[in-house]
Amino acid sequence: MTHSRKDAAALLDAHGLAPRRALGQNFVVDPNTVRRIVRLAGVTAADHVVEVGAGLGSLTLGLADTGAQVTAVEYDTGLAAAVTQVVASRENVRVVEGDAMSLDWHELLSGAEGWVLVANLPYNVATPMVADLLDDVPEIQRFFVMVQREVAERFAARPGSKAYGALSVKVAYWATARLVGDVPPTVFLPKPNVMSSLVEIVRRPSPAVDADRGRLFTLVRAGFAHRRKTLHNTLAGLATDDMMRAAGIDPGARAEQLDVDAWGRLAAQ
């Protein structure tokens, strides 16, 4: 059971609500899309799932139907009240009102050892949220998120591709990522002006490289700060040409040509 476009509109009206553009609120109002997301996410009754941006509860209901234990986080007070009403009869769902960017995640997820995050993430917070959760919340072992397509491409990008950047290295350091599929604007209320995509990110048992994380990402950020310049120029003052050569890296290369292993070797110099 989940919301149709008519159901969602009625629920908004009943609670005196309207989508807030400033919060990136675009609600999924197509039951087939919800079922597709839940199926592709592979959620089962054995899982503990956290959903960020529960909205009106369309995806929340789909996740609850699997029998999983679902924690639905919603920032907007009015929407939190609406989704609480929607899932009132579901014993396997708890609704938490709060800002996912400042929650005490360790306390929130203390009820289980491993979690899956499944969410239609607001476009304005998707990138920093996933990056921060990878850095600081190891309880989340797998992410299955719907985001703006170009963001999804950056999460999963490989060296040498146009989308590859510092975010791609961050994801590759902690996890493996893959694009799963696209979601058209027509399934949302209101319709966004961009295509959305589904991406799966699976945390590694340990980081991809054994290097000081602070130095590693200082180098990565500097390297990608000016994409068209060579590493000889972008890393001046951080790594010498001799250090690059010792790491098996051509100082004349550009940041987008280095995979996470190469960045790790350089950070270890």
CA distance 198 to 183: 7
Whether residue 10 has pLDDT greater than 80: yes
211-247 pLDDT tens trace: 999 999 999 999 999 999 999 999 999 999 999 999 9
Q: Which domains does the chain have, with CATH numbers?
A: 5-203 (3.40.50.150), 213-267 (1.10.8.100)
Whether residue 78 has pLDDT greater than 90: yes
- What does the pLDDT read at residue 169? 98
- What does the pLDDT read at residue 4? 86
Question: In residues, how long is the chain?
Answer: 269
120-159 pLDDT tens trace: 998 789 999 999 999 999 999 999 999 999 999 999 999 9
Kindly write down the DSSP assignment for every residue of 197-233, as one continuous string: EEEEEEE-SS-SS-S-HHHHHHHHHHHHHTTTS-HHH
Asked if omega into 190 is within 30° of 0 (cis), the reply is yes
Cα–Cα distances (Å) from 205 to 115, 172, 176, 208, 209, in that order, read 14, 12, 11, 9, 12
Model-level pTM greater than 0.85? yes
- What does the pLDDT read at residue 54? 95
